[in-house]
């Protein structure tokens, strides 16, 4: 090994040790002082950290899946991995067709035949979370969509894209409320949600927090003065997994 | 970036700030912000907390640099790191954490407040990593990565078990990170 390779190897080793928290505090501090203004090193650290975090998620989900199912799992085909990364829509994707919304279903180990449209998601046995998109684009005057979700042991997230060119949809914050259909009682309210940098709203309904049943939901825009405008209403059905 | 360059740049920045140069303050933040954020997010394991601490760190650093309280301007990076660490430790002592410990450095707080965006990012990262693992044609390379990162096995033990030398081990990890970077950039650009 020549000197450059040796230096490179040492540098790699430091990055690994730092990311895996294998340094003493003194060593870590010394390394932090070195890399604080070193953009190339920071980029290497960011990549190493992401890789490590991704491997941890895979390892956690594999363990959970094996423990829960205790059966062989089907590995998704290579080509399908490309379709499953959740992408936030760019400006040229404002009118997002529903088939592409289906691609927001996030799975880790999932047979291809289980992929369905976002509006009627069949059982997804292996997915750690489920993301369902609500289309806002045609909300005024259009029929409200009914979302049907199987009640499984997964974290349920509803997402929606706000077209910021439509000023009537843009508010400082938003509320999401879920009402029981039979008595109109509010069962869950998520308040003061802001748009993220990709103009997306995410409503985290949690894991097993909503019982089976029929619900309707509303998304409300709130002004700083406390005025409310209903932007979207729809139906949500949560039923037992088949 | 050599140590001499860093010392010179740091000294120049401090001098300019102390002369009232507002642009120098912005230059300083621009220069060290990414590194500071990475450090705090790594130590805190909580992006929101890290971002808050970073803001507070800059407030204090600017105050002290303007007030000529930095004794050795060439060690500005060390100054910033120390302020950041102190602020983080103070936030642990003051916050209502589930775990309370005397030695902060031994505990890696778990980020239990992941927001949906963060959940998605985590899972997207995992999918990209999965793609990477699928691309690794040599089973031994896959095993090396999983044993090192997940099982946290000792590098020497892995090399012995897989009949690798040190150089080969480093090359596998370097190639994996390089390929992961390319995959990540590709997905984010799409």
Token duo for residue A5: 């390779």
Q: How far apart are CA A17 and CA B156, in angstroms?
A: 14
Q: How far apart are CA B149 and CA B146, in angstroms?
A: 5
DSSP secondary structure string, B61-120?
HHHHHHTT--S-GGGHHHHHHHHHHHHHHHHHHHS--S---S-GGG---------HHHHH
Q: How far apart are CA A43 and CA A91, in angstroms?
A: 28
Q: Is the pLDDT of residue A2 over 80?
A: no
User: pLDDT, tens digit, for every residue of B6-46?
Assistant: 999 999 999 999 999 999 999 999 999 999 999 999 999 88
Helix (H) or strand (E) holding A148: strand A146-151
Nearest CB partner across the interface for B149, out of A12, A52, A82: A52
pLDDT of residue B83: 96
User: pLDDT, tens digit, for every residue of A93-139?
Assistant: 444 444 333 434 433 333 333 333 332 233 333 446 777 888 775 54
CA B127, B132, B134, B139 torsion-angle sign: negative
User: pLDDT, tens digit, for every residue of B116-164?
Assistant: 777 777 778 888 888 888 888 888 888 888 888 888 888 889 999 999 8
Interchain CB distance below 8 Å, B36 and A5: no
Q: How far apart are CA A214 and CA A75, in angstroms?
A: 34
Interface size A-B, in CB pairs within 8 Å, comes to 148
Mean pLDDT of chain A: 72
Q: Is the pLDDT of residue A84 over 50?
A: no
Nearest CB partner across the interface for A12, out of B123, B126, B173: B173
Q: Is the pLDDT of residue A82 over 50?
A: no
CB of A32 within 8 Å of any CB in chain B?
Answer: yes
End-to-end alpha-carbon separation of chain A, Å?
A: 60
Interchain CB distance below 8 Å, B173 and A16: yes
Contacts with B, A 97-126, CB within 8 Å: 106, 108
Neighbours of A231 (CB within 10 A): 20
What is the pLDDT confidence band of residue B55, given thresholds at 50, 70 and 90? Answer: very high
- Residue B16 CA from chain centroid, whole number: 28
Neighbours of A169 (CB within 10 A): 23
B48 φ/ψ angles, rounded to the nearest 5 degrees = -65, -45
Q: What one-character DSSP code corresponds to residue A120?
A: B
Q: How far apart are CA B146 and CA A37, in angstroms?
A: 31
Report the gap between the CA of A47 and the closest CA in chain B (Å). Answer: 6
Q: Is the pTM of this model over 0.90?
A: no
What is the pLDDT confidence band of residue B70, given thresholds at 50, 70 and 90? Answer: very high
Neighbours of B18 (CB within 10 A): 15
Q: What one-character DSSP code corresponds to residue A118?
A: T
What is the pLDDT confidence band of residue A68, given thresholds at 50, 70 and 90? Answer: low
Contacts with A, B 136-155, CB within 8 Å: 145-146, 148-150, 152
Residue B166: closest CA among chain A residues belongs to which residue?
Answer: A9
Contacts with B, A 216-235, CB within 8 Å: none
Task: Report how far apart, in Å, the C-alpha atoms of B107 and of each of A66, A140, B59, B84 are.
Answer: 29, 51, 27, 17
User: pLDDT, tens digit, for every residue of A214-225?
Assistant: 998 989 998 888
Q: Say which residue, A90 or B64, is predicted with more confidence.
A: B64
């Amino acid at each position: 090994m020549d000197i450059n390779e040796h230096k490179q190897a040492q540098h790699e080793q430091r990055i690994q040790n730092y990311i895996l928290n294998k340094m003493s505090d003194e060593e870590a501090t010394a390394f932090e002082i070195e890399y604080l203004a070193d953009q190339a090193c920071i980029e290497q650290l960011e990549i190493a950290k992401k890789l490590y975090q991704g491997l941890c998620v895979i390892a956690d989900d594999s363990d959970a899946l094996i423990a829960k199912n205790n059966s062989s799992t089907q590995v998704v085909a290579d080509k399908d991995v490309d379709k499953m990364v959740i992408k936030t829509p760019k400006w040229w994707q404002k009118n997002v067709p529903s088939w592409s919304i289906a691609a927001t279903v996030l799975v880790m180990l999932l047979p291809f035949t289980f992929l369905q449209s976002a509006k009627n998601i069949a059982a997804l046995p292996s997915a750690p979370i489920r993301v369902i998109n609500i289309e806002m684009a045609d909300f005024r005057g259009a029929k409200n969509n009914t979302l049907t979700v199987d009640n499984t042991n997964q974290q349920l997230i509803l997402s929606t894209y706000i077209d910021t060119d439509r000023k009537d949809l843009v508010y400082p914050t938003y509320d999401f409320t879920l009402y029981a259909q039979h008595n109109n009682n509010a069962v869950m309210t998520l308040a003061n949600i802001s748009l993220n940098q990709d103009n997306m709203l995410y409503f985290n309904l949690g894991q097993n927090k909503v019982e089976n049943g029929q619900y309707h939901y509303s998304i409300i825009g709130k002004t700083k003065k406390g005025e409310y405008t209903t932007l979207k209403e729809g139906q949500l059905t949560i039923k037992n997994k088949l | 970036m050599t140590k001499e360059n860093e010392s010179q740049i740091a000294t120049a920045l401090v001098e300019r700030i102390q002369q009232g140069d507002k642009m120098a303050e912005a230059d300083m933040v621009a220069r060290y912000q990414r590194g500071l954020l990475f450090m705090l997010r790594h130590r805190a394991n909580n992006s929101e907390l890290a971002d808050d601490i970073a803001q507070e760190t800059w407030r204090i650093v600017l105050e002290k640099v303007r007030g000529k309280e930095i004794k050795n301007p060439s060690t500005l990076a060390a100054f910033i790191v120390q302020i950041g660490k102190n602020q983080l430790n103070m936030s642990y002592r003051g916050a209502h954490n589930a775990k309370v410990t005397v030695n902060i450095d031994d505990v890696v707080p778990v980020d239990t407040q992941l927001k949906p965006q963060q959940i998605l990012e985590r899972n997207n990262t995992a999918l990209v990593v999965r793609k990477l693992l699928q691309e690794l044609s040599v089973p031994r390379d896959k095993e090396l990565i999983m044993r090192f990162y997940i099982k946290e096995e000792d590098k020497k033990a892995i090399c012995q078990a897989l009949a690798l030398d040190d150089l080969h081990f480093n090359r596998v990890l370097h190639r994996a990170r390089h390929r992961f970077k390319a995959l990540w950039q590709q997905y984010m650009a799409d």
